[in-house]
Amino acid sequence: MEKWYLMTAVVLLGLTVRWTVSLNSYSGAGKPPMFGDYEAQRHWQEITFNLPIKQWYFNSSDNNLQYWGLDYPPLTAYHSLLCAYVAQFINPDWIALHSSRGYESQAHKLFMRATVLIADLLIYIPAVVLHCCCLKEISTKKKIANALCILLYPGLILIDYGHFHLGLALWGVLGVSCDWDLLGSLAFCLAVNYKQMELYHSLPFFCFLLGKCFKKGLKGKGFVLFVKLAGTVVASFTLCWLPFFTERAQALQVLRRLFPVDRGLFEDKVANIWCSVSVFLKIKDILPHHVQIIVSFCLTLLSLLPACVKLTLQPSPKGFRFTLVSCALSFFLFSFQVHEKSILLVSLPVCLVLSEIPFMSTWFLLVSTFSMLPLLLKDDLLMPSVVTTMAFFIACATSFSIFEKTSEEELRLKSFSVSVRKHLPRFTFLPRIIQHLFIISVITMVLLTLMTVTLDPPQKLPDLFSVLISTELTSANPPLLLRKTGPELTSVPIFLYFICGTPTTAWCAKRCHVRTQDSNWQTPGRQSRTYT
Amino acid sequence: MAALSVMTGGGSWFLALALGVTLLKCLLIPTYHSTDFEVHRNWLAITHSLPISQWYYEATSEWTLDYPPFFAWFEYALSHVAKYFDQEMLNVHNLNYSSSRTLLFQRFSVIFTDALFVYAVHECCKCVDGKKACKELTEKPKFILSVLLLWNFGLLIVDHIHFQYNGFLFGLMLLSIARLFQKRHMEGAFLFAVLLHFKHIYLYVAPAYGIYLLRSYCFTANKPDGSIRWNSFSFVRLISLGLTVFLVSALSLGPFLALNQLPQVFSRLFPFKRGLCHAYWAPNFWAVYNALDKVLSVIGLQLKLLDPKKIPKASMTSGLVQQFQHTVLPSVTPLVTLICTLIAILPSIFCLWFKPQGPRGFLRCLILCALSSFMFGWHVHEKAILLAILPMSLLSVGKAGDASIFLILSTTGHYSLFPLLFTAPGKKNLFLIGWKLSTSLAWALWKSSVNLYSLSPPGS
């Protein structure tokens, strides 16, 4: 493309912002005995370097699983091992077994930040650039503006460790969109083997590729493609899990670490349905454990089925991106054991559709950053989060002129409003409603941020806050209607579901000390582990 | 909604650029800051806690007040806001006090005062016009100039990392240049006089101002061939200029004249005892001179041409700020540097006098004065290169030749600012930021020069 120097400037700006944000404190800085996610990453380097593979996932005197035990798939462990080799070369004290617990120093912080930045630079950023260059039907200037907005998305900048899996998933999306199916599926398998959360994105990939096979004809090229894809998936999984296939116990233990189904429907305060509903109706107390799993599974499946079916029948890159958004959001809202940071898994596909529906995407991304505010405040990241959110907003506003493009056609709500107008002929003011909702939402986010920073919730009336906020802000989560996901009748329920799952409800639950942990499950000395 | 859409509409790229760089400055708040941070805290304390008669005598801290009185008044005004952040920073005896609130206040004060710089850039953009009508935003000279000035990497490092208040001072200078471009000479002269009393380093470029105003403002008309028309001299204009300068100086130095403290003030403002070169050498002629001297002395010692006992102990390369003697080459006194500087600026002054080319010629002379003073001045800081780089940005969007010179000047100039960031804590952090920022700037410059080659006709 001709404006390569502008793209370079954009990438460098993204890197600069990432680096300056990383100058701030990291999660768990100076907070013994458990510290935070930073310490978890350092601990994994220690474990993978000093212990043999067979002991990585098992509890032993050298490897205390209660102290940040490994609970991600093997590729994370291999990546930690690689970093550990570099750390050993620079300063062995950083990963000495046992004695390096809680190690904190400027040099070590620099090392950890550098590993994150390099991972971003090598995997995530090229994927973003390539994605923007491959966008069709928009001018070069818009492509560069798109890249700028995606790179400035605050969520991925503020959460302090590398987003290797998101970068790999993005390569996967690129691959299958540009018809490099094998490479794309390989990249996605690697992403899943890096963090099991990527399974949120797995159904769209499966449906899209299946749809492609169907299109090519089941008896000819389609079948060949299917076999090749299956082979790629099996091969990549085997490669990653090879050391763990030697004994059945090994594989089972790893799976147990990856999917702790004992932990209950939700933990901590996250902006999904279960947490929101539990404010009014204590689901955890009403339903037994196995029923909770079944209910969650069914609802998740129900909400993503229309989109996936449509994608299988009519595969297209655009539909694929929208289905990614829909499925990831369904999982986030209804799934088991969802963490606040999982919103990033939804934000990534939304970044991909930024050029298609800029207004809604920008709104969603702003709200998703806001939803992580409690987490960011815990890590002393108020200033960077405010600054990066403002920068992102300004970038999106100037690049896409989002306030001018709010007609029904541009918001992709035409079919919805047409079908509503069949019953209510006067329903012409949907764009206006949405614009006003947006303004209210932004004002409320600002107010809530200010309140969180300055005030404490009133002890006598904890419910007042939650009721006020949830009634006022049920629309904070934008109605990200997806035109392509199926007939209008199923869109409306999805619309209503999205309205209910607000981040602010989670915020107020936290402030009002709503009990969210299952009292039957004891976790001595263990903080609620991040589960992205 | 309509208001928002207007705000983010087509002509608001300037606002987006200004806001963007302000947000970046906010991100730079927790970075390393140098001793200049303590210097300014100390000046806040001095001006707040002590009466005027003590300002230039106070020496509790090693960082004594060595800027002209207007800057002292500026610090005084700031201190009245500072007391709401942290009262303790205003205590003269709280040396090296840097609580988080102090840091926040100081950083925000720099960011806030940069508003004047933004306004000045806005005014400068009005003076720049492209030769062809460009549809593409990134090819408009106004846009390029705004990027080069607002996102100037050197200014970001010096002001927002190293910590100084150059932003609004350069704003004053750029504003006075813009006023001269707009033929509002009195305002330009007034602004420059005020600027001089904020920071006397701008004396470097005073000759350009003086000669230009004398030649092009006091002599109201030229002969057809461009040479001077002696009978068009306007005494009124000369007197009004003189009066402006005199009044500003009176306002600034008046109180100290009344207190009979002028010699003390001047000794603080012009500390010639500090030595030929700063602790970190500015990359000027004397740096080369000193290096040559060192090399020759080493060779001389090796070849037994020099007597080791006669070589003085104090050496330029020890990083200390003091006076000393050269070993092989002749020693350099302040008078010598002054003479060298004057010789260097003479050609440009002559051109400005005998063949004035309007404001553009003035700007060229100004840059040359700044560069010459940088090259040959006494005790030059490497930050002084910004004095040449920022006005050069204005010239660079006009002609392709200037753009290529600007590319070299700014890249090397900004690179020479890196030692300002190199101290033990977080040095590697900052090196990486610095590298990234400078490469960003380099690309912006390259883009600008490429565009300009396509803009202006060749040979102009």
Predicted ipTM of the assembly: 0.84
Q: Give buried/exposed letters for A331-342 (b at 16+ CB in 10 A, else e).
A: bbbbbbbbbbbb
Residue type, B110: V
A191-A193-A196-A198 Cα dihedral, nearest 10 degrees: 20
Q: Is the pLDDT of residue A155 over 80?
A: yes
A1-17: pLDDT as tens digits: 557 778 888 888 888 88
Give the three-class secondary structure for A342. helix
> Distance, in angstroms, between B381 CA and closest chain A CA?
27
Residue A89: how many CB atoms within 10 A of its CB?
8
Spatial distance between the Cα atoms of A260 and B200, rounded to a whole number of angstroms = 69
Contacts of B88 (CB under 8 A, 6+ apart): B94, B97, B99, B102
Structure confidence at residue A189 (pLDDT): 92
Supply the pLDDT for residue B194.
95
Whether residue A184 is predicted with pLDDT greater than 60 in this model: the reply is: yes
Grouping H, G, I as helix, E, B as strand and the rest as coil, residue B233 is strand
Q: Among residues A362, A347, A352, which one has the least CA distance to residue A393?
A: A362
Q: How far is CA B218 from CA A314, A424, B196, B356, in A?
A: 79, 78, 21, 13
Q: B interface mutation test: which of A90, A386, A403 has the most B CBs within 10 A?
A: A403
Confidence of residue B274 (pLDDT cuts 50, 70, 90): low
- Looking at CA atoms only, how far is residue A151 from chain B in angstroms? 14
| Average pLDDT estimate for A27-53 | 81
**Band of pLDDT at residue A301, cut at 50, 70 and 90:** confident
Residues ≥6 apart with Cβ < 8 Å to A284: A264, A265, A278, A292, A518
Gap between the Cα atoms of B123 and B146, Å rounded: 10
What single DSSP character describes residue B199?
A: -
CA distance B44 to chain A (A): 25
The tokens describing B214, both together, are 């004398």
| pLDDT greater than 50 at residue A468 | no
pLDDT at A475: 37
pLDDT band at B242 (very low <50, low <70, confident <90, very high): very high
Q: Burial level of B145, CB count in 10 A (0-12/13-18/19+)?
A: buried
Evaluate if residue B427 carries a pLDDT over 70. Answer: no
pLDDT score of A414: 63
Residue A512: the pLDDT is 44
pLDDT of residue A24: 79
3-state secondary structure A105-151: CHHHHHHHHHHHHHHHHHHHHHHHHHHHHCCCCCCHHHHHHHHHHHH
Work out the average pLDDT over A494-518.
Answer: 41
- The structure tokens listed for B382 are 């490497």
- Report the C-alpha gap between A260 and A262 in whole angstroms: 5
Distance from CA of A359 to the nearest CA of B (A): 12
Confidence band of B440 (pLDDT split at 50, 70, 90): low
Q: In angstroms, rounded to a whole number, what is the distance separating the alpha carbons of residues B157 and B383? A: 10
- Pairwise CA distance, residues A123 & A174, whole Å: 12
Grade residue A457 by pLDDT with cuts at 50, 70 and 90.
low
At B167, list the tokens: 């932003």
Q: Which of B440, B441, B452 to mutate to test the interface with A (most CBs of A within 10 A)?
A: B440
Least confident of A32-36, A392-396, B289-293: A32-36
**pLDDT score for A302:** 84
Share of chain A above pLDDT 70, in %: 75
- What residues in A contact B12, CB-CB < 8 Å? 398
- For residue A184 the two structure tokens come to 């794309």
User: Residue A488 half-sphere exposure, CB side, CA atoms within 13 Å?
Assistant: 11
Task: Name the nearest CA neighbour of B275 among B286, B285, B264, B265.
Answer: B286
What per-residue confidence (pLDDT) applies to A515? 38
Measured CA to CA, the distance from residue B149 to residue B151 in angstroms comes to 6
Q: Where are the alpha helices (DSSP H) in A139-247?
A: 140-151, 154-158, 164-177, 181-194, 202-216, 221-241
Query: What is the number of other CB atoms lying within 10 angstroms of the CB of residue B253?
Result: 18
Q: Do A394 and B443 touch (CB under 8 A)?
A: no
pLDDT score for B308: 66
pLDDT of residue A399: 85
By Cβ distance, the residue of B4, B437, B443 closest to A403 is B4
Strand (E) or helix (H) holding B298: helix B285-302
> What was the pLDDT predicted at A264?
62
**pLDDT at B342 exceeding the cut of 50:** yes
User: Alpha-carbon distance B397 to A483, whole Å?
Assistant: 48
Long-range CB pairs of B399-405 (<8 Å, 24+ gap) are B399/B452, B399/B456, B399/B460, B400/B449, B400/B452, B400/B453, B400/B455, B400/B456, B400/B458, B400/B460, B403/B448, B403/B449, B403/B452, B403/B453, B404/B449
Mean pLDDT of chain A, nearest integer: 76
Backbone angles phi, psi at B97, to 5 degrees: -80, 120
Taking an 8 Å cut-off on Cβ atoms, the answer to whether A394 and B20 are in contact is yes
Mean per-residue pLDDT for A422-432?
Answer: 71
pLDDT for residue A63: 77
Q: Which residues of A touch B28 (CB under 8 A)?
A: 20
In angstroms, the separation between the Cα of residue A188 and the nearest Cα of chain B is 31
Name which of A160-164, A298-302, B65-69 the model is least confident about.
A160-164
CA of residue B339 relative to chain centroid, distance: 22
Q: Is residue B200 over pLDDT 70?
A: yes
pLDDT tens digits, A65-95: 778 888 888 899 999 999 999 998 888 888 8
Q: Do B440 and A12 touch (CB under 8 A)?
A: yes
Tell me which chain B residue has its CA closest to the CA of residue A440: B1
What's the rounded Cα separation, in Å, for the pair B323 and B404?
A: 38
pLDDT surpasses 90 at A315: no
Task: Give me the helix-helix angle, B141-150 and B427-455, nearest 10°.
Answer: 160
Q: Which residue of B has its CA nearest to A2?
A: B447
Q: Average the pLDDT over B139-147 and give the result.
A: 82
Amino acid at A8: T
Residue B32, min C-alpha distance to chain A (Å): 10
Mean pLDDT, residues B288-314 taken together: 76
Task: State residue B228 phi and psi, 5-degree precision.
Answer: -75, 140
Q: Which residue has the higher pLDDT, B16 or B315?
A: B16
The DSSP output letter for A528 is P
pLDDT of amino acid B429:
59
The pLDDT score that the predictor gives to residue B219 is 84
The residues, any chain, with a CB within 8 Å of residue A346's CB and separated by 6 or more, are A200, A325, A328, A329, A332, A368
What's residue A486's pLDDT? 30
What was the pLDDT predicted at B239?
A: 92
Among A377-386, B199-208, B361-370, the minimum mean pLDDT is found in A377-386
SS3 category, B222: strand
- Going by C-alpha positions, the residue among B273, B272, B314 that lies closest to residue B294 is B314
A180-189 mean pLDDT: 91
- CB distance B138–A6 less than 8 Å? yes
How do residues A350-389 score in pLDDT, each as one tens digit? 999 888 888 888 888 888 888 887 778 777 888 899 999 9
Per DSSP, which regions of A424-476 are E strands?
none
pLDDT at B321 over 70: no
Looking at residue A508, what is its pLDDT?
40
Whether the pLDDT of residue A476 is over 50: the answer is: no
pLDDT of residue A473: 31
Cα dist. B310→B186, B301, B303, B325, B327 in Å? 57, 11, 15, 11, 9
Predicted confidence (pLDDT) at residue A165 exceeds the cutoff of 70: yes
Give me the pLDDT at residue A507, please.
Answer: 44
Chain B residues close to A394, C-beta within 8 Å: 16, 19-20, 23
pLDDT the model gives residue A513: 42
Tokens 């629309």 — which residue? A475
Q: How confident is the model at residue B458 (pLDDT cuts 50, 70, 90)?
A: very low
- By 3-state DSSP, what share of chain B in percent is helix, strand and coil, each rounded to 5? 70, 0, 30
Alpha-carbon distance of B312 to B410, in angstroms, equals 37
CB environment A149-161: b (16+ within 10 A), e (fewer): bbbbbbbbbbbbb
CA gap B385, B411 in Å, rounded: 11
Asked if the model's pLDDT at residue B370 lies above 60, the reply is yes
- With a cut of 50, say whether residue A277 has pLDDT above it: yes
**Average pLDDT score over chain B:** 81
- Long-range contacts, stretch B313-317, CB < 8 angstroms, 24+ apart: B316/B276, B316/B277, B316/B290, B317/B290
The pLDDT value recorded for residue A390 is: 93
Q: Which amino acid is at B222?
A: N
Q: Chain B within 8 Å of A398 (Cβ-Cβ)?
A: yes
Residue of B226 and A323 predicted with greater confidence: A323
- What per-residue confidence (pLDDT) applies to B459? 41
- At B347, the pLDDT band (50, 70, 90 cuts) reads very high
Q: What is the pLDDT of residues B68-77, one digit of tens each?
A: 999 999 999 9
User: Does A522 score more than 80 pLDDT?
Assistant: no
- How many whole angstroms separate alpha carbon A490 and alpha carbon A419? 12
The per-residue pLDDT for B380 is 84
Structure tokens at A510: 């936290």
User: Which residue in B13, B31, B447 is closest to A23 by CB distance?
Assistant: B31
Q: How far is A321 from chain B (nearest CA, A)?
A: 28
Spatial separation of the C-alpha atoms in residues B375 and B284, rounded to whole Å: 4
Q: How far apart are CA B253 and CA A512, in angstroms?
A: 61
Highest mean pLDDT among A33-47, A433-447, B196-210: B196-210
pLDDT at B124: 92
Reported as type and span, the H/E element at residue A91 is none
Q: Which chain A residue has the Cα nearest residue B32?
A: A23
Residue A503 has a pLDDT of 41
Task: Flag if A12 and B432 touch (Cβ within 8 Å).
Answer: no
Q: Do B426 and A9 make contact, defined as CB atoms within 8 angstroms? A: no
pLDDT at A479 over 60: no
Q: Do A5 and B447 touch (CB under 8 A)?
A: yes
Binary contact (B1, A403; C-beta < 8 A): yes
Of the candidates B228, B198, B187, the one whose C-alpha atom is nearest the C-alpha of residue B211 is: B228
Range with the lowest mean pLDDT among A267-281, A313-327, B76-90, B98-112? Answer: A267-281
**CA distance linking residue B205 with residue B372, whole number of Å:** 10
Mean pLDDT of the region A474-491: 34
Confidence of residue B317 (pLDDT cuts 50, 70, 90): low
Q: Which amino acid is at A190?
A: L
Does A16 sit within 8 Å of B23, measured CB to CB?
no
